[in-house]
Structure 1
Amino acid sequence: MNMRLSYGMGFILLFIPCSLLVAFTHYPALKALLNSFWNNGSSFRPSRFVGLDNYETLLEDDKLMQVLINSFIYAIGTVPLAIALAIGMALLVNSKLPATGLMRLSFFLPTMLPMVAVANIWLFFYAPGIGLASQLLNAVGLPSINFLGSTDTSLVSMMVVAVWKEAGLFMIFYLAALQSIPTNLKDAARLEGAGSVRIFFTVVMPLLRPTTIFVAVNALINAFRLVDHIVVMTRGGPSNSSSLLLYYIYEVTFGFRDFAYGATLTVLMVVILGILAAFQFWVLDRKAHYQ
């Protein structure tokens, strides 16, 4: 009886999260795939099956090409930098320096702030002429820069905000991984004459690869799903220089009310993320060392 009760409780505990996963992840993805083969209907004109017409529109969409380029530049610029900064902060707070507890809180604080609040904070920082960034430039004799109003700096400015917010979260994962590394491995390396730098690259980094895979996949997903900061700070401008893929989907679906093309763009984003995640696992997982 107790065994049956245990199986029943296990089934219930599995059924609830699986149901939520299907309802809020798998079903919407399948629905978007089906909607991508129909045109945009209305109350006066029902939607009709158009086959691959929406996908042909993808190939002719010049704005989409710019958005994809922006998204890949954003991902390439933020993911490695956030990971490197997170590892550096984790090493710092895992050391025997004084006030490491205060440092952990300071590094993790940006992660606890809401996305919209972070965007508004950096709006004041980037404000031309009166913002902190302009004040710092003026202090060293340089002219003010309209960081969010220039096509040359708007995307880079958004990347800085993302790294500032996400690095603290990734630091927590790396800190946990560092604390789980057996100290006898480092001690053995020291007995062999290895210095701190060599121990880090030959002992610590290989053992951090499983964490790096997890962090890299999550950072990549975050890079493609950014929309809050763009809505508050730039709205994709100027001249679509800071528009990313999810914001473009949001703009097409809810701004232009083109639900069919929005579904097609959603399918494209899912495919891109799937390919990139599989590539990351294939490249990194082959060299990962699991304990």
Structure 2
Amino acid sequence: MNKHINLEKRRQAIYGWLLLSPAAVLLSLFAFYPSFATFVSSLFSKKTRRKPSEFIELENYADLFADPTFWLVVKNNLFYAAITIPVSIAIALAMALWANSKIPARGFVRTAYFTPTVLPMIAAANLWLFFYTPGLGVLDQIGSLFGLPSVNWLGQPETALWAVIIVTIWKEAGFFMIFYLAALQTIPEDLKEAADIEGCSRWTYTRRIVLPLLMPTTLFIMVNAMINSVKLIDHLFILTKGGPSDASKLILYYIWEMAFAFFDAPHAAAMTILVLAVLCVVAAIQFFYLDRRTHYQ
């Protein structure tokens, strides 16, 4: 009897490992090994024709912390994330609530909200470049109707990052709306009927019932929005290239610039490891903190 039980457990263990093996292989090849190789690369000096790479421990990290441009880029990215993440989520939730309600042309509204998401990033950036062009852009043309002067939205340190932020919110809100819309359609109608019987207002029903039930979706969206906030690079190539005076330069663009423009792979690897570490810590905090306040049923 015990032999049969042990054999059955062994079969279940083998079956479980077989199910996990495709994901484990893919993660090892495209996530774990590249991360480990990047960490190892960050511990060596820059290789030149006359000077081979040498093991320098954490000197690349010390160089980054002593670099004022690094801290400016970090400041830009923190500000960018602090604006785009909550605003995109709030707009996505508002659009989902409206698109899920019984309104005329509901299908057209959903399509209109989701259209920016399906546009390629380069195409979206070029579209907004037409909006922002001084003198000829749509924004300046509208402003001229009211006697407002022309503004170089992408050429001023005060407005360049804000211009990129607006493009990101416009692009991501519709994508996040799809997740909220799918989650809203899983909420039973019985809850709305019970709330109406109890005399609850629409705001009370949304705050007390809908929002708590949407917390799993919100947690998922927050993690994705956080990741998106440090991987923006396409828009910057078209709109600002990190300028003027590094006012709109973000972390991933700086990593690319350091690796492929300055050919300084070790410092780029060090910055990549720092970004991965911060993302892991923030994601862990979000899961462990918000998970206690999340309703999964």
Q: TM class by shorter-chain length?
A: over 0.9
Flag structure 1 segments of 5+ consecutive residues without an equivalent: none
Amino acid at match of 1:205: L
Residue deviations 1:170-216 (CA, integer Å, cap 9, x gap): 00100011000112122222222110011001110011111000001
CA distance in 2, matches of 1:183, 1:115: 38
Is 1:77 aligned to 2:74, yes or no? no
Q: Tell me which residue corresponds to 1:153.
A: 159
CA distance in 1, matches of 2:79, 2:154: 17
Amino acid at match of 2:23: P
Amino acid at match of 2:216: P
CA distance in 2, matches of 1:47, 1:287: 49
Amino acid at match of 1:247: Y
Is 1:227 aligned to 2:233, yes or no? yes
Q: Tell me which residue corresponds to 1:247.
A: 253
| Runs of 4+ residues over 6 Å off in structure 1 | 3-10
Q: Tell me which residue corresponds to 2:207.
A: 201
Is 1:99 aligned to 2:110, yes or no? no
Q: TM-score, normalised by structure 2?
A: 0.93
Is 1:114 aligned to 2:120, yes or no? yes
Q: Tell me which residue corresponds to 2:187.
A: 181
Q: TM-score, normalised by structure 1?
A: 0.94
User: Mean Cα displacement is larger for which, 191-200 or 36-45?
Assistant: 36-45
Residue deviations 1:119-155 (CA, integer Å, cap 9, x gap): 1111111001110011111122221211100100000
Q: 1:18 to 1:81 in 2, by over 3 A?
A: same
Give the 3-state SS of the residue equivalent to 1:46 in structure 2.
Answer: coil
Q: Tell me which residue corresponds to 2:27.
A: 21
Shift of 1:13: 5.3
Give the 3-state SS of the residue equivalent to 1:224 in structure 2.
Answer: coil
Give the 3-state SS of the residue equivalent to 2:214 in structure 1.
Answer: helix
CA distance in 1, matches of 2:275, 2:156: 27
Percent identity between the two aligned chains: 46
Flag structure 2 segments of 5+ consecutive residues without an equivalent: 1-7
CA distance in 1, matches of 2:193, 2:289: 30
RMSD: 1.8
Q: 1:104 to 1:10 in 2, by over 3 A?
A: farther
CA distance in 2, matches of 1:148, 1:25: 35
How many residue pairs match? The answer is 289
Identify the match of residue 140 of structure 2 among 131, 134, 138: 134
CA distance in 1, matches of 2:287, 2:183: 18
CA distance in 1, matches of 2:252, 2:295: 34
CA distance in 1, matches of 2:12, 2:149: 69
Residue deviations 1:73-106 (CA, integer Å, cap 9, x gap): 0001000010011111111111111111111111
